[in-house]
Amino acid sequence: MKVTVIGTGYVGLTTGICLAYIGHEVICADTNESKIRQLRDGDVPIYEFGLPEMLAACGERIRFTAECREAAGAADIVILAVGTPAKAEGAPELAYLYAAMETVLDGIAEKAAPTLIVNKSTVPVGTGDKLAAMAASRGISERVEIASNPEFLRQGSAVPDTLYPERIVAGGSPAAQAALRALYGPLLRQDFSPPAFAPRPTGLASVPFYAVDLKSAELGKYAANAFLAMKISFINEMANLCDRVGADVSAIAGMLGSDSRIGKAFLQAGIGYGGSCFPKDTKALHHIAGTSGYDFKLLSAVIEVNRFQKYVLVGKLRSALGTLAGRRVTILGLTFKPETDDMREAPSLSIIEALLAEGANVIAHDPVGLRAAKALLPAEAGTTLNLDEALQDADAAVLVTEWPVYLNYGGRTYRERMKRPIFVDGRNALPAADRSWLDYYGVGMRAVPSAALST
């Protein structure tokens, strides 16, 4: 099939490359010309595991252009994958989506053959109907079908998530659903050669396909993210309670997760969720509910818990150090999670701001995110790519993003490098054997003074 993807960000680029990999003829189009130039040179502008290798494997089946209009006119299926960031009041900004749709309609205006326009961006219920109305206002509705095909990939594992999805959702008319079933046929049947770096998970024979109406597809995406965010806020509330009563949240998460009705995933307590999706999508769903006359109380609590959770670390650090003023604090990790360079809604930014406000001298390290972070960090925050230098003579280290380099550094090495061995773990991720070298503070667990210091 001939497919054009409008928007070559984390979602559009991964989708375009994976569709080309499974055999489609793909054009990836974006208004950002420098991104397109980079991609034409074979460079992937984002840090995403396996994407450069996948691109190299696609050969002539994929090309890149800034001519979005022409690209839309050349396809049987156009996929919209532009950003829908949060506006101040929580509603998603749909201006990029509508602008992209106008360009697509321009591109297909003179085309005789029908076009399926598939929206992959996360959007409020009813947006698909608005896209259909835009086509109708051009007098071309009989040649245009609108579908919703929400995306569930995670950054850091976007390629395997796309090749081996937990489900594919196709919202729209039976004809649109059938076209999406054909588009994703090789994924649904797992009928493609897996790339060497992302082998097929054992036991995966086929992928569930949900053929639903447009509105259910649109709302289902928000429901999935809100539910996952709810699990995180729940375990973080348990962690805060554990801190007060002296219980251990990791043990509680283990007990909870072994019940198959609950599941083990997304019960990692810490500094709360960040990233380009959960914060904006929970607020968007809350806003959608509000404008539909429904007070989604549970979601209000999920959002509120997350808003405060990142500051739990600051309190722990303050009590460990006595005061933050003049203390050298090393921030380990800036991106919102490991294996991505994405700084959108990264908790590190709020934590650093709070530490600076209390007079701390902050020095931040990240193995991948420094370039993106520098533009967002206050001038007073120091940064370095050298981890040893970041830790040298530190009064305390704060683990914000659980990059492997921090988990493999070793408790003893932390202790030797730092002035004081105070380690605040915002992800409860440091290996247990390393903790005893340090004055270790996790979230929702008893503080562990280092053996040497307590004697």
Ligand X SMILES: O=c1ccn([C@@H]2O[C@H](COP(=O)(O)OP(=O)(O)O[C@H]3O[C@H](CO)[C@@H](O)[C@H](O)[C@H]3O)[C@@H](O)[C@H]2O)c(=O)[nH]1
Ligand Y SMILES: NC(=O)c1ccc[n+]([C@@H]2O[C@H](COP(=O)([O-])OP(=O)(O)OC[C@H]3O[C@@H](n4cnc5c(N)ncnc54)[C@H](O)[C@@H]3O)[C@@H](O)[C@H]2O)c1
Q: Kindly state whether residue 48 participates in binding ligand Y, applying the rule CB under 6 A.
A: no
316 is in the binding site of which of ligand Y, ligand X, none (Cβ under 5 to 8 A by kind)? none
Q: Kindly state whether residue 268 participates in binding ligand X, applying the rule CB under 6 A.
A: yes
> One symbol per residue from 291 to 330: x for binding ligand Y (CB under 6 A), - otherwise; what is it?
----------------------------------------
Q: How many CA atoms lie within 13 A of 172 on its CB side?
A: 25
> What would you report as the CA-atom Rg of the chain, rounded to the nearest whole angstrom?
24
Q: Kindly state whether residue 214 participates in binding ligand Y, applying the rule CB under 6 A.
A: no
Q: Kindly state whether residue 336 participates in binding ligand X, applying the rule CB under 6 A.
A: yes
Six token digits for residue 108: 């297909």
| 91, 135, 144, 153: which one binds ligand X (CB under 6 A) | 153
Q: Kindly state whether residue 276 participates in binding ligand Y, applying the rule CB under 6 A.
A: yes
Q: Which is nearer to ligand Y, 6 or 77 (CB)?
A: 6
95-108 vs 127-137: helix axis angle to the nearest 10? 40
Stretch that binds ligand X, among 38-46, 104-112, 128-136, 275-283 (CB under 6 A): 275-283
278-291 vs 214-245: helix axis angle to the nearest 10? 120
Q: How far apart are CA 77 and CA 118, in angstroms?
A: 7
Residue 270 marked as a ligand binder: yes
Measured CA to CA in angstroms, residue 68 lies from 1, 31, 80 at distances of 18, 7, 11
Q: Which is nearer to ligand X, 49 or 209 (CB)?
A: 49
Q: Kindly state whether residue 152 participates in binding ligand X, applying the rule CB under 6 A.
A: yes
Q: How far apart are CA 114 and CA 125, in angstroms?
A: 25
Residue 221 marked as a ligand binder: yes
Stretch that binds ligand X, among 177-185, 262-270, 282-290, 444-452 (CB under 6 A): 262-270
Q: Is 18 a catalytic residue?
A: no
Cβ proximity of 396 and 362 under 8 Å:
no
* Minimum distance from residue 232 beta carbon to ligand X (Å): 5
Q: How far apart are CA 365 and CA 363, in angstroms?
A: 7
Q: Which is nearer to ligand X, 115 or 335 (CB)?
A: 335
Q: How far apart are CA 126 and CA 218, in angstroms?
A: 8
Q: How far apart are CA 70 and CA 4, in angstroms?
A: 10
**Residue with nearest beta carbon to ligand X:** 277
Catalytic residues: 277
Residues that bind ligand Y (CB under 6 A): 6-12, 30-32, 35, 68, 81-84, 96, 99-100, 103, 121-122, 151, 153, 155, 276-277
